Chain A
Amino acid sequence: MNIIKNRKIFAICSLAIIVIGLLMFFIKGFNYGIDFTGGTLIEINAGKYIPVDEVREITDEYDKNASILHGGENKSELIIKSTLDLSNNTVTEIVNKFAEKYNIDRSSFQSEKFGPFMGKEIRNKALLSILIATILMLIYISWRFEFNFGLAAIIALVHDVLIMVAVYSIFRIPVNSSFIAAILTILGYSINDTIVIFDRIREESKLYPKESVGNLVNNSIKKSLTRTINTSITTLIAVVVIYILGVEDIKVLALPLMIGIITGTYSSLFIASPIWYELKNRKIKTAK
């Protein structure tokens, strides 16, 4: 397995996904969830499947454009999303109508209302936090390793975030607060993964100072490969279990997390190290 030799192929693969994602983003935009657009969300655990047509009989009166989704086991959970800012009384009215018609316990529903402003605020705070965290991590890695490692790790991180964004826009996964949670999780996971491999490169370069940079990277990756794969497997096990057993709200989070973990692993192996190689090589060349 010669990662350094094939580094351009990996870079092209990643770039292709990112470019397609960004194109989709510019053409169609994100599929924003209502916590970003503002609106009302009503969830009813009906205990049985209620066909969309029957749901519409009740909801059309309030919002003809409301989106109706089914979730949970046997599709017995009903999710009504409206971009309208329905009043609390209206929400109660809707819930009561369902409760009466289908004999549902009134404690089996939930509703959420969002002003469009909330999502923006959370997003801005998240962006700011990520930016500060990135700078501090760059400083720490530069201090413990060298600036090139820090830079390569951060570029790999940006790569992961871009891939996540691309996946969200290609598959039109709703962008809501979970999106932010997913990005943050991947931020932590991916950097952790990358540092372990960098640590190996650092150690190998001390053990074999005469080895070429390319061989150093290849050997280090080869030696940490089992560890990288095993950690990804245990983490994936956890996420897959939540995806299978979890409730609807958690499933929304689990799917992008799976993609993120795979991306994070991929970038640690095939993106971060080659970038470090490039940075290192450039330095050697300019030194000569």
Chain B
Amino acid sequence: MKVKNTILLLLILSIVAGSTFLALNGIKVGKYEVVKAKDAIDLGLDLAGGVYVVLEAQTDAKGAELQKIMEQTKTIINERVNALGVSEPNIAIEGNNRIRVELAGIDDPQKAIELIGKTAQLQFVDPDKNIVLTGKNVVGSEVQYHNTELGQQEIVVGLELDKEGTKNFAEATGRLTLEKNREDRIIYIILDDQIISYPAVQSAEEGGTAITDGKAVISGGFTLEEASELSALIRAGALPVEMKELQTSIIGPTLGLEAYEKSVKAVGIALLIIMIFMIVMYRLPGFVASIGLIVYTLITVLAMSSLGVKLTLPGIAGLILSIGMAVDANVIIFERIKEEIRMGKSIRTAVDAGFKRALTSVMDSNITTLIAGVVLYYFGIGPIKGFGVTLIIGIVASMITAVIISKYLLKLIVSLTGGKNPKLYGVNREVER
């Protein structure tokens, strides 16, 4: 029994030590790689460096219409960001009429912000420089295949226009079909003062008519690549509404990294001091709590990296605080055990009774806090939401470690030491009785 338990205890300790080593240093075996915990966590922009912008749509639209506009805007911004070549951009609709764009590690933030927020730079202009359509009239644009008169397939760029665009386009194409010279029938498609395409309307002689259904195609012997690029440019050129910059944040990559490095160090030191405190206060149980604390930190880090929670500065503060609070359940339990020992119970019974009697207290206090965490996550936005997640992860992890791991370990240790010496539990029975 004793041998078996000793092996069990050593096994648990070495698993904890091994996981800690993995989390600190990472490992690479052949193809498989476990990265350092420090690198596995997604960093928020305040730590990773980068840009974030919150844009607000300037429109009176409401409900479903607003939702449609926002979805459209999001798609367009997405395309513009992709054109910048940013890896893993984060673009999200926030509230009803806002879009948050987060770009990590970007060289020229100013340019990025300008590009993202630009509205309606797309224009369709006739040869007399009249603006026929603007970007907001273009509902969609995509690559299509068309059958030519000769029965061949041709790649074209299809356009779909809104109501106002349809009307204007019908009027303009109707007028232009009457012109004799090709150059008088051209509609210039201009993006940012640059002509990206200049298709001509078919003349009446060639059988061309006014385009009245709001659907047009641009043909001209495109390759697939050329056609997709043009349609993407047309789509990206048109934000349906003006977007106003509400909040911008630019964080230099070095500052963020420095903050992160310092914070990781702070977490380590806080852990160490708390462990020393617990061991001094509670001796053997304190040692168990320290193991529990390491496991707690591992669980939290693992949960954060696998749930993809982005770590931010306030998040770190929340995390460090939760480490401080994580031992609370242990403190409650150990105080109870001490009480039981002082009442004259054997250590074995005292440990059992301590866990049992502290359980309602631990559960009730944590569930109450959990309620707060869930509400903050559910109703909060931005930083409040992030805070809620950290709180929830922290509470669940601390319950697991305190109620399951600490209990198991402590019982194991009691069975090994025989539980004869109350001093090992921070109780001086002779004096205190």
Contact = CB atoms under 8 A, between A and B. Distances in A.
Nearest to A244: B266
Interface in B96-111: 109-110
Contacts of A187: 372
B249 interface: yes
A112 B324 contact: no
A234 B381 contact: no
B95 A233 contact: no
Contacts of B318: 181, 185
A231 B327 contact: yes
Nearest to A77: B255
A50 interface: no
B9 interface: no
Given A88-B114, A189-B321, A199-B365, 20 more contacts: A107-B254, A110-B256, A117-B246, A118-B54, A122-B381, A181-B314, A188-B373, A189-B325, A192-B368, A195-B365, A230-B281, A234-B274, A238-B323, A241-B269, A241-B320, A242-B270, A245-B265, A246-B266, A249-B46, A250-B313
A43 B113 CA distance: 19
Interface in A71-98: 88-89, 91-92
B391 interface: yes
A239 B331 contact: no
A254 interface: yes
Given A113-B247, A122-B382, A250-B316, A238 B252 contact: no
24 contacts: A88-B109, A88-B114, A109-B252, A111-B250, A112-B249, A129-B375, A132-B375, A133-B376, A144-B364, A181-B314, A181-B317, A185-B318, A188-B391, A189-B325, A196-B332, A223-B339, A230-B281, A230-B335, A234-B324, A238-B324, A239-B321, A247-B258, A253-B313, A253-B317
B266 A245 contact: yes
Q: 9 tightest A-B contacts by CB?
A: A238-B324, A235-B324, A195-B365, A199-B361, A133-B375, A110-B251, A113-B248, A115-B246, A241-B270
Nearest to A187: B372
B152 interface: no
A242 B320 contact: yes
Contact of B380 (A108, A111, A126, A199): A126
Nearest to B319: A238
B274 A237 contact: yes
A118 B331 contact: no
Interface in B32-48: 46
Interface string B115-142: 0000000000000000000000000000
A175 B379 CA distance: 22
A257 B320 CA distance: 12
A227 B339 CA distance: 11
Contacts of A192: 325, 328, 365-366, 368-369
Contacts of B246: 114-115, 117-118
B335 A195 contact: no
Interface string B345-374: 000000000000100110011111101110
A17 interface: no
A212 interface: no
Interface string A184-208: 1101110111011001100100000
Contact of A177 (B255, B314, B331, B379): B314
Contacts of A196: 328, 332, 361, 365
B259 interface: yes
Contacts of A121: 95, 381
Size category, A interface: 35 or more
Interface of B: 46, 49, 54, 56, 95, 109-110, 113-114, 245-256, 258-259, 262-263, 265-266, 269-270, 273-274, 277-278, 281, 313-314, 316-318, 320-321, 323-325, 327-328, 331-332, 335, 339, 357, 360-361, 364-369, 371-373, 375-376, 379-384, 387, 391
Given A128-B379, A241-B273, A136 B371 contact: yes
A63 interface: no
A60 interface: no
Interface centre among B54, B251, B323, B365 (most CB of A within 10 A): B365
Contact of A113 (B245, B262, B331, B339): B245
Contact of B369 (A105, A111, A128, A188): A188
Contacts of B357: 203
B387 A113 contact: no
Contacts of A177: 314, 383
Nearest to A145: B364
B230 to A, nearest CB: 30
Interface of A: 43, 45, 88-89, 91-92, 105-115, 117-118, 121-122, 125-126, 128-129, 132-133, 136-137, 140-141, 144-145, 153, 177-178, 180-181, 184-185, 187-189, 191-193, 195-196, 199-200, 203, 223-224, 226-227, 230-231, 233-239, 241-242, 245-247, 249-250, 253-254, 257
A230 B331 contact: yes
Nearest to A223: B339
B262 A235 contact: no
Contacts of B366: 192
A237 B254 contact: no
Contacts of A239: 320-321, 324
B252 A125 contact: no
A191 B373 CA distance: 12
Contacts of B109: 88
B380 A237 contact: no
Contact of A88 (B248, B375, B387): B248
Given A188-B369, A199-B365, A234 B277 contact: yes
A184 B252 contact: no
B372 A249 contact: no
Interface centre among B253, B258, B281, B380 (most CB of A within 10 A): B380
A129 B364 contact: no
B369 A191 contact: yes
Contacts of A226: 335
